[in-house]
Amino acid sequence: MQNLQDNLIQAHQLQQNLSSVEHRIQQAVEAFHQPSPLLLAVSKTRTSQQIRELANLGVQHFGENYLQEALAKQADLTDLPITWHFIGPIQANKTRAIAENFDWAHSIDRLKIAERLNNQTHRSKRMNICLQINLDNEDTKSGIIPTDAIELARHVATMPNLILRGLMAIPAPRTNIAEQREGFHQLSMLMSKLKTAIPQCPWDTLSMGMSKDLEAAIAEGSTIVRVGTDLFGPRQ
Ligand SMILES: *Cc1c(COP(=O)(O)O)cnc(C)c1O
């Protein structure tokens, strides 16, 4: 009984959070005259039950960062029509499982990883890829620096089992929207350049914007916002 009640409270909270995030997205879309981005629910550290509840509210795209955790939840949720996105750093020994269990990978920043995914994708569907860009030139962060992106993109563009859809970034946190927009603007400009240089790829995806900066990202043309905290609550 207690469990059932907890679940109902949790489901109600998720519904409120989802409405509030959808409202923010809609407000930004209207304010900045931009198309509506896809809402990618970032479910790292969340339970299968929480994902199921959000999926029951109509969310279809979920993003995970840690492979083992993701595989366990995917096994619980095979009855749901979820599109899975891998958004965390990718180690070479994880590529096969990622290729087999995810439709998208947003965090490609090395040729070796792209090559392995290309060789290990044995499905009728090709894998959707975003290159992760390190906008802040921080040594410790994942992502390729903007000046090296074109060479990596040229290689990935030739890989038959991968579809190079666009770019992803996690800019360093900034509190005001003008500063937040600068990083996202850079990412959008970089994609325009790549589109001109490598016109055979779709280049239809800017994976940018999280709980704290989704408005700024939408202002700069985000097509996928990746939201965790503001949907599920604070992470432990
Ligand atoms: C955790 C994470 C998010 C979601 O961040 P929130 O601030 O919780 O919305 C988005 N993208 C990536 C790559 C993440 O690791």
Q: What is the pLDDT of residue 7?
A: 77
**Phi (first) and psi of residue 89, to 5 degrees:** -55, 140
| CB distance 141 to ligand 1 below 6 Å | no
| pLDDT number for residue 2 | 64
pLDDT of the residue at 8 = 77
Q: Whose CA is nearest to atom 7 of ligand 1?
A: 211
Task: State the pLDDT at residue 59.
Answer: 98
- Number of other residues whose CB lies within 10 A of the CB of residue 71: 14
Query: Distance between CA 109 and CA 33 in Å, rounded?
Result: 31
* Domain range summary for the chain, segments of one domain joined by +: 2-232
What does residue 80 show for φ and ψ, rounded to 5 degrees?
Answer: -100, 145
Confidence at 1, pLDDT banded by 50, 70, 90: low
Establish whether residue 65 lines the binding site of ligand 1, counting it when its CB lies within 6 angstroms of any ligand atom.
yes
Query: Using CA atoms, how far apart are residues 95 and 79, in angstroms rounded to an integer?
Result: 24
Cα(119) to centroid(ligand 1), Å: 28
Measured in Å, residue 202 CA sits from the centre of ligand 1 at 25
Q: What is the DSSP letter of 223?
A: S
pLDDT in tens, 195-234: 999 999 999 999 999 999 999 999 999 999 999 999 999 9
- Tell which atom from ligand 1 comes closest to the C-alpha of 230: 9
37-91 confidence digits (pLDDT tens): 999 999 999 999 999 999 999 999 999 999 999 999 999 999 999 999 999 999 9
What pLDDT does 99 receive? Answer: 96
Q: By alpha-carbon position, which residue is closest to atom 13 of ligand 1? A: 87
Is the CB of 94 inside a 6 Å radius of any atom of ligand 1?
A: no
What number of other Cβ atoms are within 10 A of residue 23's Cβ?
Answer: 10
Digit-coded pLDDT (tens) for 151-188: 999 999 999 999 999 999 999 999 999 999 999 999 99
- If you measure from the C-alpha of residue 63 to the centroid of ligand 1, how many angstroms do you get, rounded to a whole number? 9
Q: Pocket of ligand 1, candidates 67, 132, 210, 212: which has the most ligand atoms within 8 Å of its Cβ, to mutate?
A: 210
- The yes/no answer on whether domain 2-232 falls in CATH 3.20.20.10 is yes
Average pLDDT of the residues in 123-151: 89
Burial class (CB in 10 A: 0-12, 13-18, 19+), 166: buried
Cβ-contact 28, 214 below 8 angstroms: yes
209 Cβ closer than 6 Å to some ligand 1 atom:
no
Ligand 1 atom closest to the Cα of residue 168 is: 13
Q: What is the mean pLDDT of residues 131-147?
A: 88
For a pocket test of ligand 1, which of 42, 43, 222 has the largest count of ligand atoms closer than 8 A to its C-beta? 42
